[in-house]
Amino acid sequence: MQRSINIASTPSIETSRIAQSIGTALDRFIKNNQNQFAYASGELSQLLRDIALASKVVNREVNKAGLIDLMGAVGSQNMAGDEQQKLDVLANIRFTRALAKGGEVCALVSEESESFVDLNNEGKYVIAIDPLDGSSNIDVNVSIGTIFSIYRRKSPVSTPIREEDILQLGSDQVAAGYVLYGSSTMLVYTTGHGVNGFTYEPTLGEYFLSHPHMQMPAEGKIYSINEGSYNSFAEPVKRYVQHCKDQNYTARYIGSLVADFHRNMLKGGIYIYPATAKDKFGKLRLMYECNALAYIAEQAGGMASDGEQRILDIKPGSLHQRTAFYVGSKNMVETAIAYIK
């Protein structure tokens, strides 16, 4: 005979590990915080849900890439001349499809698309996305990520998309975030009211709040820069790297921006991709790599600069514009800028 458990009468179970609360689901969190959004009418909430859904599909494919021939290059290059990996292209398809279906986004800027994609709908939002960041690490099972920035369109809905809708200042973002496909998969985002992190629970297929109100320590002991390019660094950058060594900081460089940023966000640290002799304007792209992480860093008490100015104040002149990037713990970025200037 099946014995029914009346929870009220067995408090020990309710407080025991087996009944441990699984936390706040992303959907619930978005709903509970929707009134924080300017123009809170549910569209931005739905847009965030669409991104979360697409990231679950990409996560599934990343996890089994080696089993379903998703490793390696597709044999074509994106407009930056980077060899496109199969997962780059697949992630771009998954996010573009989910956002097109959702109908909240009228235009999409992607690392994998030369020009912006007009989604021909009544959407009020514009998104800039790096569908899969850290391409050099895809085939070697090292953490990779997705980075996204969300803006409101400036021109009236259902009129042709204009340059002003696309080339917006980072400070005009209404939301930004990243997904980290690492030892666990996390979605971290801000809507301008602090930063929250959610961990994916694959058996339930849902993200749960695991890192509320994330704060980046003002100081850290980790520096992340590709010292393999040391010889092409400008002298001031070399002096700052020497400063980090003199301070006995630890060097950590995964080579996946999202993973390096996330670690520094939790532990304190600085990530630098400077302008070099090879990449005069740096390597990273302002619109779909740097703006989102700069917004999150600032919302978590950190800082982001190109060495001269605040990343969020840089007026983009083109979709795939590059910038030098100094991001992380406030005191460390300030010190780096003092060396650079």
**Residues marked as catalytic:** 82, 88, 111-112, 130, 132-133, 289
Distances (CA, A) of 185 to 181, 208, 259, 300, 341: 5, 11, 11, 20, 38
- Can you tell me which of 82, 83, 139, 172 binds ligand FBP, judged by CB under 6 A? 82
Residues within window 34-73 making contact with ligand FBP, judged by CB under 6 A = none
Please tell me whether residue 134 binds ligand FBP under the rule CB under 6 A.
Answer: yes
Please tell me whether residue 255 binds ligand FBP under the rule CB under 6 A.
Answer: yes
Residue 102 or 134: the one with the smaller Cβ distance to ligand FBP is 134
In the complex, the smallest distance separating the C-beta of residue 157 from ligand FBP, rounded to whole angstroms, is 31
Chain centre distance of CA 335: 25
In the complex, the smallest distance separating the C-beta of residue 124 from ligand FBP, rounded to whole angstroms, is 27
Please tell me whether residue 23 binds ligand FBP under the rule CB under 6 A.
Answer: no
Q: Report the distance separating Cα 100 and Cα 226, nearest Å.
A: 37
Residue 111 or 298: the one with the smaller Cβ distance to ligand FBP is 111
- Can you tell me which of 24, 33, 215, 226 binds ligand FBP, judged by CB under 6 A? 226
Q: Report the distance separating Cα 329 and Cα 219, nearest Å.
A: 5
Q: Which residues contact 175 (CB under 8 A, 6 or more apart)?
A: 37, 44, 47, 48, 149, 150, 189, 190, 191, 192
Residue 111 or 206: the one with the smaller Cβ distance to ligand FBP is 111
Please tell me whether residue 256 binds ligand FBP under the rule CB under 6 A.
Answer: yes
The piece of 11-19, 61-69, 153-161, 252-260 that touches ligand FBP (CB under 6 A) is 252-260
To which H or E segment does residue 27 belong? helix 26-32
Q: Report the distance separating Cα 31 and Cα 283, nearest Å.
A: 37
With CB under 6 A as the rule, give the number of residues binding ligand FBP. Answer: 12
Please tell me whether residue 135 binds ligand FBP under the rule CB under 6 A.
Answer: yes
Distances (CA, A) of 206 to 45, 49, 52, 145, 280: 16, 11, 9, 18, 42
Q: Which residues contact 56 (CB under 8 A, 6 or more apart)?
A: 200, 205
How is residue 25 written in tokens?
A: 């689901």
The piece of 51-59, 132-140, 234-242, 302-310 that touches ligand FBP (CB under 6 A) is 132-140
Which residues in this chain contact ligand FBP in the complex, by CB under 6 A? 82, 111, 130, 133-136, 226, 255-257, 283
